[in-house]
A and B are shown apart, each in its own frame.
Chain A
Amino acid sequence: MSLLAYIVRRLLLMVLVLIGVSLLVFTMMMLLPPGQRVAIYVTNDRVSPAMMDALIAKYGLNDPAPLQYFRWLRNLLHGEFGYSITASSPVLKGFARFLPVTLELVLYAAPLIILTGIFLGTLGAVRKDTAMDHVTRVLAIVGFSLPTFWLGLLLMMIFYGFLGIFPPGALSTDVRNIVFSDPTWHPYTHLVTIDAILNWRWQVFWDAFYRMILPTLNLVVINSALIMRLMRSSMLEALGQDYMMTARAKGADRKTLFRRHARRNAMLPVITISGITFAELMGSMVITETIFDRKGIGWWMAQAALQLDVAAIMFDVLFLGTIYVVVNLVVDLIYAYVDPRVRLS
């Protein structure tokens, strides 16, 4: 199969999967009685049953489920994603505001997670059955076993509560004023740390960076464990391959051996898992952002799910679903490029 045909097929499949995702999620939401789905519009205690019926009628929550789905789909095709109460704005506007906060954290955390995982995993494999190996393995398994929120709370308790450093929130009020109101500030990317460098405003950079340390640490401890384990086992496997034996027999020195041959082959599964890590990081933001009071996509999703903000849930789920399938596609393409033995099928 040619590369182009392959990509086209995968893209078509992707659309199919995303439609499936939206249908599934929508069906799940439709299982709720209209009285529950309308609750998000009820902002004060004193709404009478008649008023609630009026609200239900106003937002068409009593219509047959297929009609509601097609209305949603039609609006989607017109670029209308509805209004999200949990974002206090139309879905797209809310998304545009929350995404940079999350993306910035992912941009710092993801490379750190992947590098930590690869480094410690290699170390373990190369020094198999030494103390170093045991320590890294135990670390990985422990990191993997900690509840994300518990670690986050402990970090907050120690650093902000006891030592008074690393405050929560994405930005301090002063810096927020610069970023949102200063006419001389140019939001090139909307990622505050990068914009700060481009604007040459180090005060802003430090403020944003400073507040990212704890959440990043939290994400790294928990998420690098998986990559580390994978790297170790695939590295061990690679070291056991025939050609490695051959190379060793030919007298290649250990260092070259590991770097040239084993590592390269061991990287393949790691590429996959790194891609998935990126996609899943967006998901694990739900807890991290909630704890460290960073109002990003993860926080938004948690609120939307808790309050049954259907418009936001549908959009977020589709967004994360899209990221997931796209990342998978990209990973597969890289895979094929790095390892010609893998055929596209």
Chain B
Amino acid sequence: MKTMHPRLRELAFTLRRFLKNPLSVIGLSLVVIFGLIALLAPVLEPPKYADPYKIPHTGFHIEPSPPSAAHPLGTMQQQYDMLYGLVWGTRSAFRIGVLVVAANLFIGIILGVLAGYFGGLVDEVIMRITDIFFAIPFLVMAMALVVAIGRGLKAVVVVLIILGWPSYTRVLRSDILVTRGKDFILAARASGASHLRIMFTHIVPNALYSVLILASLNIGTTILTAAALSFLGLGSETGTADWGQIISLCRSWIVGTPGNRFAYWYTVFIPGFVISLFVLGWNLMGDAVRDVFDPRMRRR
């Protein structure tokens, strides 16, 4: 190995730092495990219907059944198999999280770049719009919009995309403002490079780090918000492999039977625990990524 490209060297350094921190390793492993579950879902829990996100059930009896050989994690209300729901729900979670955050990033970056690079009136208009979005109470607006669009997972995703982009725009814009004034940009401009070229070869890559960190932190939050909407009764149809929907079914079962007040613990505890682990994984990772990339914390 001769001399590495400086960017590669930086990356290797970053990775080493990242892997030295036990918390980030735990986070990474959690995310990887969930990723594997999502990937291997068809092997782990072969689907019974044409639509794999439909959870199999035996009858529709309302009372959840406890863990057994047939249902290792028990069933939810209406006899939907918990394990199946959680496994395929992992796929849904990745789909929701990644889709929403990617779309948010896309919108956020475009508007942030426009605002940060052009400044002036463009900046003013875009930033006032983000101000408006910031001033809207998120959950309330999300609920009303989901009701308006028609409840279901699709609506939840659309709404989270509509409401989620402003924070990226804000962060990216302020980073661009910092980068824009730097010498190398001024030099590039003096040498006659076009706006677009400058923007995408110099400014955006340098300002992108903080937005990406924000994105990694936001995947967990997105899942939590989607679950909260489901809990309030606005998620997908019962019997769909979606964590938020699964956990929303536990609400009536927090009181057990006379002999055993925790008789339905599995239906309350398991789905919430799985969501928490998933979100925890992303948050640990995001946290570590932030520490690692943050230039102020970097070489210390």
Interface residues of A (CB under 8 A from B): 13, 16-18, 20-21, 24-25, 28-29, 31-32, 36, 134, 137-138, 141-142, 144-150, 153-154, 156-157, 161-162, 229, 233, 236-237, 240, 282-284, 286-287, 290, 301-302, 304-306, 308, 313, 316-317, 320-321, 324-325
**Complex partner residue of A240 from B129, B145, B254, B300, CB under 8 angstroms:** B300
Known: A147-B275, A153-B268. A321 touches B137 (CB 8 A): yes
Closest CB-CB distance, B132 to chain A, in whole Å? 4
Assess whether B268 is in contact with A157, with CB atoms less than 8 Å apart.
Answer: yes
Assess whether A141 is in contact with B284, with CB atoms less than 8 Å apart.
Answer: yes
User: What residues of chain B lie closer than 8 Å to A313, measured between beta carbons?
Assistant: 140, 144
Assess whether A236 is in contact with B297, with CB atoms less than 8 Å apart.
Answer: yes
Per-residue CB contact flags for chain B residues 170-206 toward chain A (1 = under 8 Å, else 0) read 0000000000000000000000000000000000000
User: What residues of chain A lie closer than 8 Å to B231, measured between beta carbons?
Assistant: 147, 149, 287
**Beyond the given A29-B144, A147-B227, A287-B139, could you list 14 further A-B residue pairs with CB under 8 A, ordered by the A residue number?**
A21-B132, A147-B228, A149-B227, A153-B251, A157-B261, A157-B268, A283-B137, A287-B231, A290-B232, A305-B144, A316-B140, A320-B135, A320-B137, A324-B134
Q: Is the interface of B mostly helix, strand, loop or mixed?
A: helix
> What 5 pairs between A and B have smallest CB-CB spacing?
A305-B143, A150-B272, A321-B135, A20-B132, A145-B280
B138 close to chain A: CB less than 8 A: yes
Assess whether B140 is in contact with A305, with CB atoms less than 8 Å apart.
Answer: yes
Closest CB-CB distance, A104 to chain B, in whole Å? 19
Closest CB-CB distance, A1 to chain B, in whole Å? 17
What is the total of A-B residue contacts with beta carbons within 8 Å? Answer: 153
Interface residues of B (CB under 8 A from A): 23, 128-129, 131-141, 143-145, 147-148, 220, 224, 227-228, 231-234, 247, 250-251, 254-256, 261-262, 268-269, 272, 275-276, 279-280, 283-284, 287, 296-297, 300
Q: Is the interface of A mostly helix, strand, loop or mixed?
A: helix
Assess whether B262 is in contact with A162, with CB atoms less than 8 Å apart.
Answer: yes
10 contacts between A and B (CB under 8 A): A28-B148, A141-B280, A145-B276, A145-B280, A154-B269, A156-B254, A283-B139, A302-B140, A316-B137, A317-B141
User: What residues of chain B lie closer than 8 Å to A31, measured between beta carbons?
Assistant: 148
Q: How far is the CA of A321 from the CA of B300 in the complex (A)?
A: 41
Nearest residue, chain A, Cβ from B247: A150
Q: How far is the CA of A142 from the CA of B143 in the complex (A)?
A: 26
**Complex partner residue of B129 from A20, A287, A325, CB under 8 angstroms:** A20
Assess whether A161 is in contact with B255, with CB atoms less than 8 Å apart.
Answer: yes
Closest CB-CB distance, B140 to chain A, in whole Å? 5
User: What residues of chain B lie closer than 8 Å to A137, measured between beta carbons?
Assistant: 23, 287
